[in-house]
Amino acid sequence: AVNINALLNAMAAILPYVEALIGGMNFFDTNYEDNGYLSYWGERAVTEGSASIIALLQAIAAILPSVETLIGRPVDLFDGSDPANGFLGYWAERVVAEGSAKIIALLNAMAGIINEVEDLIGEVDFFDTNYEDNGFLTFWAEYALTNGVQHTKNVLSNMKNILDNDFDNNGTPEVEELIGPVDLFDNNYDDNGFITYWAEHALTQGVNNVNRGLYIWKRLLPHVEAYEGRNLNLFIGNDAGILSFWMDEVLKLINQNGLGLEEAIQEIIKRLSEGKTLASFLYNTADNIADFFQEGIGIDPVTGLPYSWITFTKEGKIYQPEYTSISDIGMYIVSLVSLLKLDKLSQQELELTISQLLDTLNTMQTYSPASGQYQGKTYFFNYYDLPSKDVTINTFLSSVDNANLLMGLILAREACPNLAGSLQELIDKIDLGFFYDQSEHLFLGGYNYNHLNGTITPSGYHYGIMNSETRLLTYLALGKGDMTQAEALLNWQALATNMLKIYGIDVVASYGGSLFEFLFPALFIDEAQLSPNGFGLNFKKAVLIHKLQAIENGYPFWGEAPCYNDIYEYREFGSPAGLNPYPSSGMLSPYTVLLSYNAVQEGGDLIQLIENLYQGSINSQFGLIDAIDVNNDLGIYLNTSLLQGIALAAITNSLNNGIRGLFAGSLEYARIAEFISNTAFFDETGLNSELTSVRNTINDSIATGAWQKAEALFNYFKDLVTAYGKQALFPDLAQIEANLRQAIEEDLSQLYDEAQNLFNLEDYQEAITAFQTILYYDASYKNVKELLYLARGERDANVIIPNLDTLLTAFEDGTRPNAYISKIGPVDGPNGSIDVSIVSDKDKTQGKVLKLDYKLQPGGFNGIYMNIDGLSLSNTGKLVFDIKGDSSVGIPSKIKIELHPEGSSWPYPSIEIDNITEDWQTIEIDLSAFVSALGANFKLEQIAIMLEGDKVGNNQGAIYIDNIGFQE
């Protein structure tokens, strides 16, 4: 029995809260509902405690309006049989546990989306014992709390549309033909996730485009699986990405070539049946790049920071520098996010690595202004020593490099919501306004920091060209709010957009004409789509100019940009599409082709061809190599952290738009996108005039046998005629194409005969170039690939390699590191200059040799160094090498050979060599002839070959060196 006194006390305690629910109590009327209601709660208060019941009554009062709105009627609090009381009680208990604000928001969200949910799954019964519909509604209400009610309503509507859509009217929705029947209530969430992904995708792409895309997926799926040789699991990112890649190929044919849907699908099915693929190749490339970012390979195990680059021997021995840069760190972060988007890194692994990186960044030496507008802000120096993290190489604060780090941090913030707060704190500290010169409306290159007194001085230059990688500064400063919209517009107007006419093509120039300058920011923002008559068209022009330059110079492939050269020294290469053109030298960089594919879908076939002809150039053991020296048929086997990040971002965008799509969801993007979309460089009148001129040039080129030029121009011409709908202006398009195809067929046959003749004449290097050119235009042409490999074999077989006890290098692999030599480079001393390169010697028995082309004045010196990996030697042996001079430019009277033993310092043991002639001769030097400081046994760390202005005699000249080694 209930203790009456306890009950009365409990009723007294809860009375105000009951009256707040049902109004004032009348204890003496004959309507006992209010008395009974108070007694019910009083009895519960006796057993559960007054405080508990008061909290529950307060919760009921707080949520009652929201519950009644949701269920569409009043709750009868006095009717114990009204199921709404139980529903109300359930949510009131959740209020007690979780707080009223959250539960009210959730109930309001449920009310806001109930119509769309019921359209999707049928009427929701709040009171039955089947909780599937309630659970479904609750899930999406929680989703709405994060993403907004209207956003959620749109997603649910899209889900309904996708689930009902039968694009081809065959009786079954496309989505169920792809993944089977969809059960929205089971415990297998794969189908729910699949539908949700596409419903969210439809918010930006349009639900009709998504439905068409799923139809394309369905049509292509069996053919892609046949090509891959396995079934695809569409719930796995890699497999779905492969199918998305092929869908995008269909859409390109529709949007760029003007094909109809079925026509485009059949063309891709044909390609698949012929074995032409790119998606799987790109995924495999990403796997190898991921291997670069392993501790002890591309990552310093102490700090977790990336090495700026690595080199590696054929046997896998790795050499690393002792430094990194902030651009390297920024692109490492981009790489990690790319690997997440490719399902090659888990969310947990990404967040752990980013957290560790953030901890490291927060302990690195930085510069913070002590006063003024940017007091307390944080700026990173360009280079840091590894593993100490000390500032090294210089004390420069670079604007564009800080921007590259910022981009990585913003992408990490978008990909790692659990770390967003910590990342945003650092993002806010890097205020790019610090680098902005308001008097010029341009960004400074940066500041030079004086470590002695802590002062800074601005660099003597600004970034003044729009078509440069440095436009990322404007984008990020505007997006972050580091500069106002008005100031950003002034900056944009101040940037040079000089128009040049190159090979008959109007192009808005970059600084040096490199594809990196044109295309790098398009890794993060789809500039071509946002600005089709600005960046989009200009990108295509820049790529075309690189193609025409390669044809003019006799290179089989195109794509030049800053990279490491054949002696692993960083150099800038470009094209005439620059205001200050960088030279073209045949150092073609695979990363530029990936940039082109990312920006304007140019070069997909070339990416694979380069790997086929230079195995390990793109799919090397540790990712993408820096360049290919096509003049000498050599790969430059150095892998930079920066280029791995570029390659991974380009691959991710090409497969699922992962990097650009992620950034497009950021707060920074909206301002930037509007800014870019207002940019246009070309008008219709100019485009019509150029297309007319290009058409005439194509016809002239076909008539004069310049078929390569004609082919490059025609692809550009056809692309623009189709994209801009100008077929009526150029009704002869089909006839020009037919004439060109006939010319290519005839001229490829002629080039094939010429290449065979060169091979028969043992002019192997020229034959190799001709064979590679044929393969660029037709990768399966006759037996050309077999002849190419045969020519390489014959060329190499002619080379005589000396039989030395220790052969340091014969240069047949260029300056690729080996078990002895980690690096070869120039000693660029005062009063002169030196150019060091690998060349193919005219004497075929020498093969590849090292050339030193020098200029010197009295008192000057230069030469080369070779870093040796601790080679143990005896002073009873001999140093052996081959040498000759070049009489056409000058032969030095003397050169000096220096040996740098372990632990030694200048002056080093040395000996002078004279009597160099224009004929090859083998020099043998007794090690005992060097200064006795060598000792009986020693470890060699470096060899230097030096030219001194007071002794060379001819102050300009060249020497060639080959086959360096030691004989016991």
List, in sequence order, the alpha helices (H) in 614-666: 641-656, 658-664
- Cα 606 from chain centroid (whole Å): 18
Mean per-residue pLDDT over the chain, rounded: 93
Residue 924 is predicted with a pLDDT of 95
Q: How far apart are the first and last CA of the chain?
A: 110
Q: In what order do the strands lie in the sheet with 894-901?
A: 821-828, 861-874, 937-948, 894-901, 910-914
DSSP 365: -
- The three-point CA angle 198-203-209 to 5° equals 65
Residue 757 is predicted with a pLDDT of 97
Give the least confident one: 77-81, 110-114, 511-515, 647-651: 77-81
Q: Is the pLDDT of residue 705 over 90?
A: yes
* Confidence grade of residue 215 (pLDDT, cut at 50, 70, 90): very high
Dump pLDDT digits (tens) for 760-813.
999 999 999 999 999 999 998 999 999 999 999 999 999 999 999 999 999 999
Dump pLDDT digits (tens) for 905-940.
888 889 999 999 999 999 999 998 886 667 788 899
* Confidence grade of residue 456 (pLDDT, cut at 50, 70, 90): very high
Q: Which residue has the tokens 């040039």?
A: 697
Residue 398 is predicted with a pLDDT of 98
Residue 837 has phi, psi (to 5 degrees) of: -155, 165
Residues contacting 132, CB < 8 A, separation 6+: 185
3-state SS of the chain: helix, strand, coil percent to 5?
A: 50, 15, 30
3-state secondary structure of 527: helix
Dump pLDDT digits (tens) for 28-66.
787 778 888 888 898 898 889 999 999 999 989 999 999
Task: Return the higher-pLDDT residue of 420 and 870.
Answer: 420
Q: Mean pLDDT over residues 228-232, rounded?
A: 85
Q: 388 exposed, middle or buried (CB, 10 Å; 0-12, 13-18, 19+)? A: exposed
Residue 192 is predicted with a pLDDT of 87
Q: In what order do the strands lie in the sheet with 396-398?
A: 396-398, 446-450, 455-458
DSSP-assigned letters across all residues of 254-274: HHTT---HHHHHHHHHHHHHH
Half-sphere exposure of 378 (CA within 13 A, CB side): 14
* Confidence grade of residue 132 (pLDDT, cut at 50, 70, 90): confident
- The three-point CA angle 207-210-211 to 5° equals 90
CB atoms within 10 A of CB 861: 21
Residues contacting 240, CB < 8 A, separation 6+: 232, 234, 656
> In the beta sheet, which residues pair with residue 856?
832
Residue 129 is predicted with a pLDDT of 80
Token pair listed for 213: 């895309």
Q: Mean pLDDT over residues 571-599, rounded?
A: 96
What angle do helix axes 279-292 and 604-613 make, rounded to 10 degrees?
60
> In the beta sheet, which residues pair with residue 874?
937
Residue 920 has phi, psi (to 5 degrees) of: -65, 135
Q: How many helices (H) and strands (E) does the chain have?
A: 32, 31
Q: Could you give the dihedral angle defined by the CA atoms of residues 358, 361, 367 and 371, in that order, rounded to the nearest 10 degrees?
A: 20
* Confidence grade of residue 710 (pLDDT, cut at 50, 70, 90): very high
> In the beta sheet, which residues pair with residue 922?
882
Q: Is the pLDDT of residue 7 over 90?
A: no
Q: What is the pTM of this model?
A: 0.80
* Confidence grade of residue 2 (pLDDT, cut at 50, 70, 90): low
3-state secondary structure of 967: strand
Closest CA to 45 of 54, 33, 35: 54
Residues contacting 659, CB < 8 A, separation 6+: 334, 337, 338, 341, 411, 523, 524, 649, 652, 653
Residue 854 is predicted with a pLDDT of 96
3-state secondary structure of 468: coil
List, in sequence order, the alpha helices (H) in 453-589: 471-480, 485-494, 515-519, 527-530, 537-553
Q: Could you give the dihedral angle defined by the CA atoms of residues 543, 544, 550 and 553, in that order, rounded to the nearest 10 degrees?
A: -130
3-state secondary structure of 833: strand
- In angstroms, the CA 329 to CA 349 distance is 17
Q: Mean pLDDT over residues 736-751, rounded?
A: 96
- In angstroms, the CA 832 to CA 956 distance is 9
C-alpha R_g of the chain:
35
Half-sphere exposure of 512 (CA within 13 A, CB side): 17
DSSP 295: B
Closest CA to 586 of 629, 543, 615: 629
Residue 931 is predicted with a pLDDT of 62
The residue type of 448 is N
Burial 83-108 (b: 16+ CB within 10 A, else e): ebbebbeebbebbeeeebeebbbbbb
Residue 276 is predicted with a pLDDT of 60
Give the least confident one: 420-424, 746-750, 903-907: 903-907
Task: Return the higher-pLDDT residue of 26 and 707.
Answer: 707
Give the least confident one: 379-383, 620-624, 831-835, 888-892: 620-624
- In angstroms, the CA 218 to CA 230 distance is 16
Asked if the bond preceding 306 is cis, omega within 30° of 0, the reply is no
Longest Cα separation, the chain = 130
Residue 464 is predicted with a pLDDT of 96
- In angstroms, the CA 835 to CA 547 distance is 27
Name the percent of the chain lying above pLDDT 70. Answer: 99
CB atoms within 10 A of CB 150: 11
Dump pLDDT digits (tens) for 266-313.
888 888 877 667 888 888 899 899 999 999 999 999 999 999 999 999
- In angstroms, the CA 202 to CA 91 distance is 34
Cα–Cα distances in angstroms (integers) from residue 22 to residues 30, 51, 181, 559, 847, in the given order: 17, 19, 49, 79, 100
Residue 933 is predicted with a pLDDT of 64
Q: Mean pLDDT over residues 216-224, rounded?
A: 92
Give the H or E element holding residue 891: none
Dump pLDDT digits (tens) for 464-492.
999 999 999 999 999 999 999 999 999 99
Residue 79 is predicted with a pLDDT of 84
- In angstroms, the CA 405 to CA 408 distance is 5
Token pair listed for 685: 């009148």
Note every long-range contact of 597-601, with CB atoms under 8 Å and residues 24 or more positions apart, other chains counting.
597/650, 597/654, 598/519, 598/522, 598/523, 598/649, 598/650, 598/653, 598/654, 599/518, 599/519, 599/522, 599/527, 599/528, 599/539, 600/528, 600/536, 600/539, 600/540, 600/543, 601/252, 601/256
